[in-house]
Structure 1
Amino acid sequence: MHSSCSLMALAATFSTTLAAFQGFNYGSTFNNGAAKVQSDFEAEFKTAQGLVGAPGGGFTSARLYTTVQAGTSNQPIAAIPAAIATKTSLLLGIWCSAGDGIVDNELAALRSAITKYGADFGSLVAGISVGSEDLYRNSPTGILNKENPGKDPADIVRYIKLVRDAIAGTPLANAPVGHVDTWTAWVNGSNQAVIDASDWLGVDAYPYFQDTQTNTIENSKDLFNAAFDATKAAAGGKPVWVTETGYPVSGKTVGLAVPSLQNAKTYWDQVGCPLFGSTNIWWYTLQDAAPATPNPSFGIIGSSLTTTPLYDISCNNVNPPPPSSTSASSSSSSTPSSSSSQVSSSSTKEPAGSITSSGPSSSLVSSTLPTTLVTDTTVVQPTPTGNVVSGSGSGSNGGVTTTGTSSPSAATGTHPNGGAVASGSMSAAFAAVMVAILVL
């Protein structure tokens, strides 16, 4: 009885003292495909917690793309005991695009972890993400860019029910269950069933990849805010979590977006600082250059674990943001002109073949939100105003290297611990958007 009361008190303290979950995305492997073990995750989590100048209460949460340990078929990922040891909260991930068999393995790993770690595990779960960018991958643009199989809304809804059934009556019973995707997926009316089935929506957004717009660093804040606002408008009052965003410190120029330490810091200050401490957010990323440095590289630290970031992350002396991005700027770059979808690219994401943790692999290229928003083949009347273009991605599991596109997690549809190579192109996605507009 005493033990039970203590656990309840600990859980209550954890939930009331944390204004918002704040952390990074973590893959199950290094970018050479080597599986991370518990000590690796512990070292990463401790580094994140000790970052010099960390704002908003520090980075004490971790988003995972899979619940399966790399190199196994259905064993719980070593990040779970590492999180318990370091008191790191977890946004669990269930990889869905690879099909029912993989989802069964994910559920087996989840059940095993619950049995093994019990209340210690349950008290640290911020939520469960059933899938990551699956709706985008299954869209005409995702298919055109060879993102590999995604999933229909009905499949994601079914998987959400399976997850709820798996956690019912367990220490994870109250964990909020949701889905992560791009803003173009969320504003597409054909995906409404997933919104209805979710407790929260996760949005991945990367202005860096939006080369069909004026994606200078000066305009990146407006592009991000427009995507975030559009997702919130589609959410119907449900919480919207920022599950991936970031800006590269090095790498190739995409459109007018130039990777650099200064631009990465500017993006951190203008996009991250207003959200830290008040919005659930998992930044992309703590480290993606281990052992090799990808192109582009989004890590706020380099190839060696260190608590000293590559640039000042304190949010000190940062000018307060404008009231809302919904008041579109007068520049052409902030006025959406067409809707596009997401394009995959860059380097790493979770399950999808084997994705390295070197960078995002899927992102939006849409340019605007006109009176009528065209999303893939569905026409919907938008509620939001302002610029709604944003990229997205997530990268972290195996060792997928994507090229010519823009998204981390949407690299491929196979499992995160696999070894696929994804590729795509912004030009192809833009062409698809133009075709849709001309048809209409």
Structure 2
Amino acid sequence: MLISRLLALTASVAAAAAQIKGFNYGSTFSDGSVKQLADFENEFRTAQGLVGTSGFSSAHLFTMIQGGTPITPTSAIQAAINTKTTLLLGLWISAGPDIVNNEIAALKAAIAQYGTAFTDLIIGIACGSEDMYRETPEGIASNAGPGVSPDQIVKYIQMVRDAITGTPAEKAPVGHSDTWTAYANASNSAVIAACDWLGVNAFPYFQVKMDNSIENAKSIFYNALDAVRAVSKGKPLWVCETGWPISGATLNKAVPSIDNAKKYWDDVGCSLFGNINTWWYTLQDTAPNPIPLPFGIVGSTLSTTPLFDLTCPNPKRLSRRRLQSAQQQPHGL
């Protein structure tokens, strides 16, 4: 009886985890001003109340540090507690070891300050984002900024694990998010081995060496996911960033528009939601100023009414092969 109960609990937790969906949230607005507690709360509540959909109650953060401070924990944590928003925490690691030390200090301070009210919301911890990509020829050619070597990322992952050991957050799975091309590079295999899960950032819009029209976007996305699966060593795959721009420059055959952003949501998003942990890019990125390449599904005024219909036309499921390769292990067991 005990074994059957444990198996049932594991299955229920796995099913719940597989339905995690949310958005990416930066620490500043488009004019560079720093987001405060009320700003994060407003964004999290807006995501939860979006017309045409439901369940977007998770936030992928990119830093543990409140803007304008050296090591103060981000106010997004208190906002998450207030709104019951789960968290994929992010530590920014491309700015050098001193900043990484500050990120870890902020993480430890947040655990001490908020305790289980915070740690119970943690889905995972992302140690870096696209740091390997920025070290590749493609990243260098696109002026993506400084990256981090694989051995250094492995070191930072261990530092995060050491920091949470003996705390209420010690069971939080630690991973890294990057592009499929970075994972497919054999020189980065040590990072894959060090991770509990692999975060995939995939944007067919930027695949300019392919026919990246919106009609081909879904196949390009899943080919990228399959490429990561092939080198994943059996690690769970989470989609940490994907989306389609609503306006901006055409890249090869990829045309930004509201109509194409909706088609990408319908074709890719609706096939992911409920199957794989997914954090969409993004809820809003044009407040208060417009930007050259916006991805936000909400315009410059924060509103639960999106720019396009978010209703998934038909419930879609991944193929058994893709679902088995991508779905995550139960969290917290």
TM-score by length of 1: 0.68
Give the gaps of 5 or more residues in structure 1. 1-12, 327-440
- Whose helix proportion is higher, 1 or 2? 2
The amino acid that maps onto 2:41 is: E
SS in 2 for 1:274: helix
Quote how far apart the aligned CAs of 1:147 are.
2.4
Per-residue CA deviation, residues 168-221 of structure 1 (Å, 9 max, x unaligned), is 111111000000111011111111111111000001111111222111110111
Per-residue CA deviation, residues 10-53 of structure 1 (Å, 9 max, x unaligned), is xxx98874542200000000010000000000000000000112
SS in 2 for 1:237: coil
Per-residue CA deviation, residues 340-396 of structure 1 (Å, 9 max, x unaligned), is xxxxxxxxxxxxxxxxxxxxxxxxxxxxxxxxxxxxxxxxxxxxxxxxxxxxxxxxx
Partner of 1:111: 108
SS in 2 for 1:220: helix
CA distance in 1, matches of 2:321, 2:242: 16
SS in 2 for 1:60: strand
Q: After TM superposition, which residue ranges in structure 1, 4 or more long, deviate above 4 angstroms?
A: 13-18, 320-326
SS in 1 for 2:89: strand
CA distance in 1, matches of 2:114, 2:266: 38
Partner of 1:379: none
Partner of 1:231: 228
Partner of 1:197: 194
Partner of 1:49: 48
Quote how far apart the aligned CAs of 1:261 are.
1.4
SS in 1 for 2:82: helix
The amino acid that maps onto 1:246 is: G
Quote how far apart the aligned CAs of 1:317 are.
4.0
Partner of 2:291: 294
Q: Is the 8 A contact 1:138 1:151 kept in 2?
A: yes
Partner of 1:24: 23
Partner of 2:75: 78
Pair 1:150-2:147 in alignment? yes
CA distance in 1, matches of 2:140, 2:150: 16
CA distance in 2, matches of 1:213, 1:146: 21
CA distance in 2, matches of 1:279, 1:18: 8
SS in 2 for 1:287: coil
Partner of 2:330: none
Q: Is the 8 A contact 1:178 1:201 kept in 2?
A: yes
Identity of aligned residues (%): 57
The amino acid that maps onto 1:36 is: K
Partner of 2:164: 167
The amino acid that maps onto 2:210 is: Q
Partner of 2:87: 90
- Which of residues 64, 68, 71 is equivalent to 2:65? 68
Counterpart mapping for 1:19-418 below 5 A: 19-54=18-53, 58-317=55-314, 320=316, 323=319
Counterparts in 2 of 1:25 and 1:73: CA distance versus 1, 3 Å: same
CA distance in 2, matches of 1:240, 1:15: 14
CA distance in 2, matches of 1:309, 1:67: 28
CA distance in 1, matches of 2:18, 2:130: 27
Q: Is the 8 A contact 1:25 1:62 kept in 2?
A: yes
Give the gaps of 5 or more residues in structure 2. 1-11, 323-333
Counterparts in 2 of 1:324 and 1:250: CA distance versus 1, 3 Å: farther
Partner of 2:8: none
RMSD across aligned positions (CA): 2.0
Give the paired residue count.
Answer: 312
The amino acid that maps onto 1:29 is: T
More displaced stretch, 268-277 vs 141-150? 141-150
Q: Is the 8 A contact 1:226 1:325 kept in 2?
A: no
